[in-house]
A and B are shown apart, each in its own frame.
Chain A
Amino acid sequence: MSNVKERVGTGVGVTLILLWCLLPVAWIVSLSFKSQEAVTNGSPGFFPASGAGAGFDNYKQVLQDDAFLLAIRNSIVVSLSATILSVALATLAAYAIARLEFRGKKFVLTTALVIAMFPVVSLVGPLFDMWRTVGLYDTWWGLMIPYISFTLPLAIWTLSAFFREIPWEMEQAAQVDGATPWQAFRKVIVPLAAPGVFTAAILTFFFAWNDFVFGISLTSTERARPIPAALSFFVGADPFNRPASLLAAAAVVATIPIVVLVLFFQRKIVAGLTAGAVKG
């Protein structure tokens, strides 16, 4: 009896979760199929009214928009490079933290924690001032450097949590066989740590892809402007109104990489998200 009740309850709960997560996504997809004319004149409702549909016109237009294509390029280059560099650096630090005893460990961890809590907006002013003097303003590196710094804490935690699960006896065995700590690290641990590294990379990529504060403050042209900033400046045929449906199409395009990553790696992402935060 209570079992049936519980099952019904769980079923309802699952439905609610799915609605919660997917309804707004469905909405933005639906909006992207409304025609721009209909949107300018007002077309309330979840689905495009009959005759107010645009087919794939908005997508075609978005994918022919140079500014948006360049933003996609910038976002991909900057996010991927920042991810690779950040994870590479974090791997080193996480290994040291998980495996080695050293003075200053607490300092590293505290720094990482403080940075994770850091209000990024309080940095954009001085960073802008610094970047404009050294010529990093409106460049890929000007974005990559802050992305790396701000994803390092997340990557370090996630990785050190993963590293602690690795059977280190194997490393010890290697060391007994005469390998230096460094060789043991490279030959034995790296292959074992790869899944964790991969997870950290996905989370880092999400951060970089999502960033908005640096994206609008440290860029000013298509040369380096990433997708979120480009979206906020999106201009349609009518310069006075945000082209809602066009923007929706662009937003859907920008979300596709995320959905793909989530579809393929959901298990890893969840493990990574919770590993860094809860064990302890």
Chain B
Amino acid sequence: MTRPARARRAVAAAASAVLACSVLTACGGGDSGPATLNWYINPDGQDTLNALAKSCSTDEYTIKINLLPSSATDQRTQLARRLAAKDSSTDLMSLDPVFVPEFANAKWLLPFKGDLAGKVLDDDVLKGIAETVQWDDQVVAAPQWANTQVLWYRKSLAEAAGLDMTKPVTWDQVIDAASENDGTVGVQANKYEAYVVWINSLIQGAGGNILDPSTVESGRDAKVTISSQAGEDAAAVIRKLARSKAAQPDFTTSNEGTSLGQMYPAQGAGEFMTNWTFVYKNYEGLLGKPGGPKDKAELEDLGFTRYPQTVAGQESKPPVGGIDIGVGAYSKHPDLAQQAAICVTDAKAQSALAVNEGLMPSRQSVYDSDELKKAYPPALLTLWRESVDSGGPRPKSAFYSQISSAIQSRWHSPTSVGPGTPKRSASFLEDILSGKALL
């Protein structure tokens, strides 16, 4: 191996291998067999998505599942890097709705046109969700499921606190009720996307917005409106929880998973927790296991109600999320990929995701289906649908990831949030949008 001639040959071989590789990727999949469509999924609901990939495959194409990392930010990074490299093997991708504008703006998503667009966005799709897949008057992705947060709680804890849960509750009430009754309040306050979800909902719940909704789509020229009374109200809630006994030990690094265990703790009265729809299936599956309800009675002690109000009397704006399916702009099989996208987002697929995985539909008809009514308490289904319908979206901007990072950088750690925070984050956000500051 030490002979230079051999080494030179090795390098030459290497070079030709590289060449062959890129030629292969450029024309791979062109054989006579069915085409392979790569679908990049996020880790929620893997089992059902794998089954969907199988059942949606046809004679013409086979859908191959590829797993993305678990955090929304990492998912975006991975996909964006592939697409920036004009990768032709990215056919289908599961996208968090907040990243759709950025991807569409960079022309990384293949729009659905004509009949297909009509199929993706018919009247059955919930209004708030339909909004997330449109950019520049085009349908750029297909909604697959919708997510929303509600307030989960132990009925016994609310009772002990004398809180009437049939009426809307406020964050103040919830924090006081928990801290006075040996309970805790579970939120998502680590330095990551879901913390922005919380902040955004708090602000919208007080009638404000991070960016002015009428200018948000103009990208860098959007007007920053976070420095407002609503911003201050939101900061006050975070500050109150941070200083309360009800804050969980890992408050500043908490995520959707960390507070699950506090609902049925070994000691203490349990918690109030704002969290996504998967929570119900999660506790059902943990019945009798550590971290879950001891018995049926404890499971029935799990209550749910509308997301808390930021300001008493003003309707809350529950967070909405979910997943849209985009088709890569550089795909070698654009037509097949769009066909597949429609298959994995149809009513049957959505029903399977809802029943098996707790990932809620984006279509009205699926909420009304018998399968769902069998799987979930009707009251919960209604709560979810209403929450999705009246929820507050995060800023619909092609610069969302920078906006989100900017908010995270000024609002984290939550223990440092106070009256000056909205103002500070506003001027920082302006600098970021105009490219005058580092993120």
B67 in contact with A241 (CB, 8 Å): no
Q: Which of A60-98 contact B (CB under 8 A)?
A: 67, 84-85, 88-89, 91-92
Question: Min CB distance, B326 to chain A, in Å?
Answer: 16
B291 in contact with A239 (CB, 8 Å): no
Q: Which of B35-79 contact A (CB under 8 A)?
A: 42-44, 66-67, 69-70, 74, 78-79
CB<8 Å pairs between A and B, sample of 25:
A37-B289, A38-B290, A40-B260, A41-B290, A67-B67, A88-B7, A91-B2, A132-B84, A134-B22, A135-B22, A135-B26, A136-B18, A137-B81, A137-B87, A138-B82, A186-B2, A197-B2, A233-B74, A235-B70, A239-B43, A239-B44, A240-B70, A240-B258, A240-B260, A241-B258
Q: Which of B1-28 contact A (CB under 8 A)?
A: 1-4, 7, 10-11, 14, 17-18, 21-22, 25-26
**Nearest chain-B residue to A190 (Cβ)?**
B2
Of A91, A131, A220, which is within 8 A of B82 by CB? A220
CB neighbours (8 Å) of A239 from chain B are: 42-44, 70, 257
| Additional 5 contacts, C-beta under 8 A, given A141-B21, A186-B2, A240-B258 | A40-B291, A239-B42, A239-B43, A241-B255, A241-B258
Question: Min CB distance, B182 to chain A, in Å?
Answer: 18
CB neighbours (8 Å) of B43 from chain A are: 235, 239
Residues of A within 8 A of B (CB): 37-38, 40-42, 67, 84-85, 88-89, 91-92, 128, 131-132, 134-139, 141, 186, 190, 197, 220-222, 233, 235, 238-241
Question: Min CB distance, B190 to chain A, in Å?
Answer: 10
- Bound CA span A37–B256, Å: 16
Of B26, B67, B84, B257, which is within 8 A of A238 by CB? B257
Question: Min CB distance, B79 to chain A, in Å?
Answer: 8
- Bound CA span A117–B291, Å: 49
CB neighbours (8 Å) of A41 from chain B are: 261, 290-291
Main secondary structure of the interface of A (DSSP, over half): helix
B291 in contact with A37 (CB, 8 Å): yes
CB neighbours (8 Å) of B297 from chain A are: none
A221 in contact with B44 (CB, 8 Å): no
How many residues on the B side are at the interface (Cβ–Cβ under 8 A)?
39
- Bound CA span A190–B4, Å: 13
Q: Which of B150-207 contact A (CB under 8 A)?
A: none
Question: Min CB distance, A178 to chain B, in Å?
Answer: 20
Given contacts A89-B7, A138-B82, contact A42 B261 (CB under 8 A): yes
CB neighbours (8 Å) of B3 from chain A are: 186
* B438 sits at the interface (CB 8 A): no
Residues of B within 8 A of A (CB): 1-4, 7, 10-11, 14, 17-18, 21-22, 25-26, 42-44, 66-67, 69-70, 74, 78-79, 81-82, 84-87, 255-258, 260-261, 289-291
**Nearest chain-B residue to A128 (Cβ)?**
B81
Question: Min CB distance, B2 to chain A, in Å?
Answer: 5
CB neighbours (8 Å) of A132 from chain B are: 84-86
- Bound CA span A128–B81, Å: 9
CB neighbours (8 Å) of B66 from chain A are: 221-222
CB neighbours (8 Å) of B11 from chain A are: 85
- Bound CA span A235–B87, Å: 24
- Bound CA span A233–B257, Å: 16
- Bound CA span A134–B67, Å: 25
Question: Min CB distance, A244 to chain B, in Å?
Answer: 11
**Nearest chain-B residue to A84 (Cβ)?**
B1
**Nearest chain-B residue to A239 (Cβ)?**
B43
**Nearest chain-A residue to B10 (Cβ)?**
A85
**Nearest chain-A residue to B276 (Cβ)?**
A240
A240 in contact with B290 (CB, 8 Å): no
- Bound CA span A233–B40, Å: 14
**Nearest chain-A residue to B289 (Cβ)?**
A37
Sorted nearest first, the 8 A-B pairs with minimum C-beta distance are A240-B257, A132-B85, A135-B22, A41-B291, A241-B257, A233-B69, A239-B43, A240-B256
A135 in contact with B25 (CB, 8 Å): yes
CB neighbours (8 Å) of A222 from chain B are: 66
- Bound CA span A88–B7, Å: 7
CB neighbours (8 Å) of A88 from chain B are: 1-2, 7, 10
CB neighbours (8 Å) of A84 from chain B are: 1
**Nearest chain-A residue to B1 (Cβ)?**
A88
B21 in contact with A135 (CB, 8 Å): yes
Question: Min CB distance, A136 to chain B, in Å?
Answer: 7
CB neighbours (8 Å) of B82 from chain A are: 138, 220-221
Of A137, A233, A235, which is within 8 A of B85 by CB? A137
CB neighbours (8 Å) of A221 from chain B are: 66, 78, 82
